[in-house]
Amino acid sequence: MEKDNGLVAMDKHKKTIKAHKEASKSIAKARIPASPARAPPTIPKAAPERGPPRCFVLSGFGLNAEAELAYAFSLAGADAKIVHFSDIASGAAKLSGCEIFAIPGGWSFADEISSGRILANKLRCNFKEQFEEFASSGKPILGICNGFQTLAKLGALPNIGMSFSQEATLLTNANGRFINRWITLRPQKSVCKYFEGIDFIQCPVRHGEGQFIPKDEATLSQIEKRGLVAVKYCDESLREAQGYPDNPNGSVKNIAGICNTTGSILAMMPHPECSVLRTQFPRFTSGVSHEKNSLRLFQNIVEAAKGYI
């Protein structure tokens, strides 16, 4: 009996200890609230990297310097693409898909009627709204040679009246001949900032209709007063040109290029895209070349376009 009573007492003791342990666990659970579920940490997404400004260089219908112009823009850091006129007209390409629009030199429609006239009319009939919206946005537009003639006849520059009506033209060279020679240009104090940091540019001209003439004296006065003369012909010492050959076409006031009233649209008869490499200069073997000046022009345009990416 004593043994049985001892076993019973031990069994009760074990049960008592077990009960205390379970009670302690229950109390602990009751006193310590469960931690609320936490959402996984949010890792901020990196902003997508902005690519270089996209440049559309127009081609088609006799324009023939698109490869040189696209190369110059590529060298300056743009994503340059040659786009045929028909692709824009059909909607396959849209000007909203670029930050720079450039019209190169050439002989569009064989310069019939007047240089740039037919191309300007064709653009006006096919994508006038796109072009004027792009031009009004402030994005850079560049016209070289036939591109200048086209932009002038479109009324895109000087566009003093802000109505895209023609206010100037490019007539047959004063000497009546086609001119293909190297010239020197001196940037002017103007609203166009694409020539910042450039003292002069040397590059070729190659045209038969490059004589800049405004429609009247009042227009010329406004062009000068409002700082729309972007660049002038000069001699190699950067002095004012005194006629041919420094001024190759007889342009009034030695004007080689002008801009619109905001400075975003630039057009010029000379070809700076043909002097962005040392080996393009006729005297490079004698150590004479100024390719950095021409390249700086395209770099400035690309830099301006970055604000529209």
DSSP string, 96-113: GG-SEEEE--B-GGGG-S
How long is the chain? 309
Measured CA to CA, the distance from residue 224 to residue 245 in angstroms comes to 23
Q: What is the mean pLDDT of residues 276-304?
A: 98
Q: How many CB atoms lie within 10 A of CB 284?
A: 13
Beta bridge partners of 63: 60, 106
Range 261-288 average pLDDT: 98
pLDDT confidence of residue 13: 52
Please state the three-class secondary structure of 226-274 as a single string: CCCEEEEEECCCCCECCCCCCCCCCCHHHEEEEECCCCCEEEECCCHHH
Question: 233: buried, middle or exposed (CB in 10 Å: 19+, 13-18, 0-12)?
Answer: buried
CATH fourth-level superfamily of 54-308: Class I glutamine amidotransferase (GATase) domain (3.40.50.880)
| % of the chain with per-residue pLDDT over 90 | 84
| Predicted pLDDT at 28 | 47
- Model pTM? 0.84
List, as own/partner pairs, every contact residues 175-178 make where C-beta atoms lie below 8 angstroms and the sequence separation is at least 24, other chains included. 175/244, 175/250, 177/208, 178/206, 178/207, 178/208
The contacts of residue 31 (CB under 8 Å, 6+ apart) are none
Strand partners, 106: 63
Q: What pLDDT, on the 0 to 100 scale, is given for residue 167?
A: 98
Residues annotated as part of the active site: 145, 271, 273
The rounded distance, in Å, linking the Cα atoms of 280 and 275 is: 6
Nearest to residue 58, comparing CAs of 76, 73, 43, 77?
73
- Ordered by start, the domain boundaries in the chain are 54-308
Average pLDDT over residues 148-152: 98
| Strand (E) or helix (H) holding 294 | helix 291-305
| Per-residue confidence (pLDDT) for residue 1, from 0 to 100 | 43
- Give me the pLDDT at residue 50, please: 79
What is the per-residue pLDDT across 236-252, written as a single tens digit (0 to 9) for each?
A: 999 999 999 999 999 99
Distance CA 7, CA 285 (A): 117
Bigger pLDDT: 30 vs 210: 210
- Residue 139 and residue 305 in contact, taking contact as beta carbons nearer than 8 Å: yes
